[in-house]
């Protein structure tokens, strides 16, 4: 059974991210995978502050929260990055989490799912570009969930369209 990390890229109280994560974890379970949630708000990493670049050979992490994040990524068979859209980009907390790692992303299967008023297309594009740069195996399919169309303001699906949007992406990831 593949262990798939579902990364919540929002720190906001009352965030829509939790319901979106629920949709994704339910779908992963239906596909026979084992979803594991990585809540970046709970992990609570500082802004990247290592004196050495993650791309450097001598990069080592000592920060406990970043070590926990690194372990979660390394131990997963694939990662779903859930991005909100903040000012036509991804969230700072998700970008920061991506930046803490480098070698861990190489060839890591990654899927990107976004949600927002216009489907978080810019947020998704940011995350796809960064993870491709890091040589992750980013699945070509992405999913956009739209407030007041496929999901409510709380992030919960309003019908079958939300499931239909995420299913092909997760299938491509789980294989």
Q: Phi/psi at 105 (nearest 5 deg)?
A: -85, -20
Point out which span in 83-91, 105-113, 137-145, 163-171 binds ligand FMN (CB under 6 A).
83-91
Report the C-alpha gap between 166 and 144 in whole angstroms: 8
CB atoms within 10 A of CB 174: 20
- Asked if residue 146 binds ligand FMN (CB under 6 A), the reply is no
Among residues 47, 62, 87, 160, the one that binds ligand FMN under rule CB under 6 A: 87
- Asked if residue 12 binds ligand FMN (CB under 6 A), the reply is yes
Report the C-alpha gap between 111 and 79 in whole angstroms: 6
Which residues touch 158 (CB under 8 Å, ≥6 apart)? 148, 149, 150, 151, 152
- Asked if residue 17 binds ligand FMN (CB under 6 A), the reply is yes
Smallest separation, CB 146 to ligand FMN (Å): 9
- Asked if residue 42 binds ligand FMN (CB under 6 A), the reply is no
Which CB atom, from 69 or from 86, has the smaller least distance to ligand FMN? 86
Point out which span in 11-19, 24-32, 124-132, 160-168 binds ligand FMN (CB under 6 A).
11-19
Q: Are 127 and 90 within 8 A, CB to CB?
A: yes
Residues that bind ligand FMN (CB under 6 A): 10, 12, 15-17, 84-88, 116-118
């Amino acid at each position: 059974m593949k262990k798939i990390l579902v990364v919540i890229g929002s720190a906001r109280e009352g965030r829509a991210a939790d319901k979106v994560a629920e949709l994704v974890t339910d779908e992963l379970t239906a596909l026979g995978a084992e979803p594991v949630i990585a809540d970046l708000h709970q992990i609570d990493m500082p802004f990247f502050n290592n004196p050495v670049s993650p791309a450097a050979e001598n990069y080592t992490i000592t920060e406990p929260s970043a070590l926990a994040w690194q372990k979660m990524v390394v131990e997963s068979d694939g990662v779903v990055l859930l991005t909100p859209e903040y000012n036509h980009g991804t969230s700072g907390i998700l970008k920061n989490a991506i930046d803490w790692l480098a070698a861990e992303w190489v060839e890591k299967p990654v899927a990107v799912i976004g949600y927002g008023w216009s489907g978080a297309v810019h947020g998704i594009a940011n995350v796809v570009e960064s993870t491709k740069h890091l040589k992750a195996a980013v699945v070509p399919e992405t999913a956009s969930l739209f407030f007041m169309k496929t999901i409510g303001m709380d992030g919960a699906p309003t019908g079958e369209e939300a499931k239909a949007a995420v299913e092909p992406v997760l299938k491509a990831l789980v294989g």
